[in-house]
């Protein structure tokens, strides 16, 4: 099986070489290629990539327009990977990258999956977009309960990648702009789900990489319009049988008072909390946003209206989570997961 890897990067000279080496070990194919799609401020990252010895052929795409999605798509359209049967896409800020993880993703594709994606536990103060919105919304609207739907480490089949490249042109302009950034992760997953099976590769320890919280606003406003736009085309599945709950793996770690205060201050800086939150709490407003898009509202508009409710949810989670046990946090996420599914099936109130 011919394989390829795409490494989107931006200002990651300290980690790109180790990631490249780990991927090269995982490919283990006579015919394989690694493409670095870089948009760094300096040439350091692409130079480190070029200088890293590999068995696989390498392609360096430097000085690309900034945007994770735009970078991935630029690499995906390269003729060097046109005959690849499986394409691996990985984060390049990973510390201690494990070739076994990358190899396991590719194995799922060779076994027939359309997309394989890493499932690693997340620390309780991280993965706020995944745990509170992306995972439960995708599960409630499509029936695909993917533990880490926005994970940066995944592999696509040829058929799934071709579907992605075709689907790009069908997006409304404002949603397409979101997909060029952090919206690419949801776009890849949800497009691949129309082609075939989605496989999660379970990993037992949290991934060590740069935190996403500093980019929370950008990630939300690029990922959520894509999530809402694409999930609105699905028919929600029936609610699971009573007693069947989603498993959330929430890794514990201490979060110091200074760091927690800084995170809450950042959330406050994004704007005031909405009125009437207690009367219509999370995740009901998330279901409202989905219904609004399903009824014709542009997804970016619904995402903007949902934003203050999401901020309130993250604020409440961080404030109460510091006093909760690991089990209590996991149970709370599972309960909200179930409530969102019920609300998607029953609520008709537009997002306020």
State how far the Cα of 214 lies from the Cα of 216, in Å rounded to an integer: 6
pLDDT attached to residue 10? 96
Tokens read off for 191: 């497009």
Is the pLDDT score of 352 beyond 70? no
Is the pLDDT score of 348 beyond 70? no
Q: What is the number of residues in the chain?
A: 352
| pLDDT confidence band for 351 (50 / 70 / 90) | very low
Q: Tell me: the pLDDT tens digits for 203-259?
A: 999 888 777 788 899 999 999 999 999 999 999 999 888 778 999 999 999 999 999
Is the pLDDT score of 81 beyond 90? yes
Long-range contacts of 305-309 (CB under 8 A, 24+ apart): 305/351, 305/352, 306/224, 306/351, 307/220, 307/221, 307/270, 307/271, 308/271, 308/272, 308/273, 308/274, 309/274, 309/277, 309/282, 309/285
Is the pLDDT score of 147 beyond 60? yes
Residue 300 · residue 173 · CB < 8 Å: no
Is the pLDDT score of 283 beyond 70? yes
Is the pLDDT score of 282 beyond 80? yes
CA 166 centroid distance within chain = 20
Q: Which fold has domain 3-211?
A: Spore Coat Polysaccharide Biosynthesis Protein SpsA; Chain A (3.90.550)
pLDDT attached to residue 333? 97
Q: Give span(s): CATH 3.90.550.10, the chain.
A: 3-211
CA angle 239, 244, 247 (to 5 degrees): 110
pLDDT attached to residue 271? 83
| pLDDT confidence band for 264 (50 / 70 / 90) | very high
Is the pLDDT score of 318 beyond 50? yes
**What average pLDDT is seen over the chain?**
93
Tokens read off for 24: 């090269």
Q: Tell me: the pLDDT tens digits for 26-39?
A: 997 668 999 999 99
State how far the Cα of 216 lies from the Cα of 182, in Å rounded to an integer: 10
pLDDT attached to residue 82? 95
pLDDT attached to residue 107? 96
Is the pLDDT score of 331 beyond 50? yes
pLDDT attached to residue 276? 64
Percent of the chain at pLDDT > 70 equals: 97
Q: Tell me: the pLDDT tens digits for 15-67?
A: 999 999 999 999 976 689 999 999 999 999 999 999 999 999 999 999 999 99
Which position has the higher pLDDT, 28 or 110? Answer: 110
pLDDT attached to residue 93? 94
Residue with tokens 């201490």: 254
pLDDT attached to residue 128? 93
């Amino acid at each position: 099986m011919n394989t390829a890897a795409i490494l989107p990067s931006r200002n990651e000279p300290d980690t790109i070489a180790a990631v490249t080496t780990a991927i090269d070990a995982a490919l283990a194919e006579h015919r394989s290629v690694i493409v670095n799609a870089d948009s760094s401020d300096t040439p350091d990252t692409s130079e480190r990539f070029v200088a890293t010895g590999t068995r696989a052929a390498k392609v360096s795409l430097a000085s690309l327009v900034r945007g994770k999605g735009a970078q991935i798509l630029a690499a995906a359209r390269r003729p060097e990977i046109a005959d690849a049967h499986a394409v691996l896409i990985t984060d390049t800020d990973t510390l201690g990258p494990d070739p076994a993880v990358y190899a396991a993703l590719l194995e799922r594709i060779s076994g027939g999956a359309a997309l394989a994606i890493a499932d690693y536990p997340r620390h309780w103060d991280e993965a706020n977009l995944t745990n509170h919105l992306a995972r439960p919304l995708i599960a409630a609207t499509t029936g695909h309960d993917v533990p880490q739907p926005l994970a940066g480490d995944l592999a696509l089949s040829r058929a799934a990648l071709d579907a992605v490249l075709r689907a790009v042109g069908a997006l409304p302009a404002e949603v397409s702009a979101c997909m060029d950034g952090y919206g690419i992760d949801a776009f890849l997953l949800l497009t691949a789900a129309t082609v075939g099976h989605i496989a999660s590769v379970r990993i037992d320890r949290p991934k060590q990489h740069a935190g996403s919280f500093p980019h929370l606003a950008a990630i939300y406003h690029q990922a959520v319009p894509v999530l809402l736009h694409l999930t609105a085309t699905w028919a929600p599945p029936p609610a699971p049988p009573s007693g069947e709950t989603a498993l959330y793996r929430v890794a514990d770690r201490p979060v110091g008072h200074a760091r927690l205060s800084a995170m809450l201050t950042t959330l406050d800086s994004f704007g005031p909390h909405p009125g009437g939150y207690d009367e219509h709490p999370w995740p009901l407003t998330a279901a409202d946003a989905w219904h609004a898009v399903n009824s014709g509202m542009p997804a970016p508009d619904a995402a903007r209206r949902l934003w203050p409710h999401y901020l309130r949810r993250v604020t409440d989670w961080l404030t109460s989570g510091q006093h909760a046990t690991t089990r209590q946090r996991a149970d709370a996420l599972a309960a909200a997961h179930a409530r969102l599914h019920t609300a998607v099936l029953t609520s008709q109130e537009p997002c306020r």
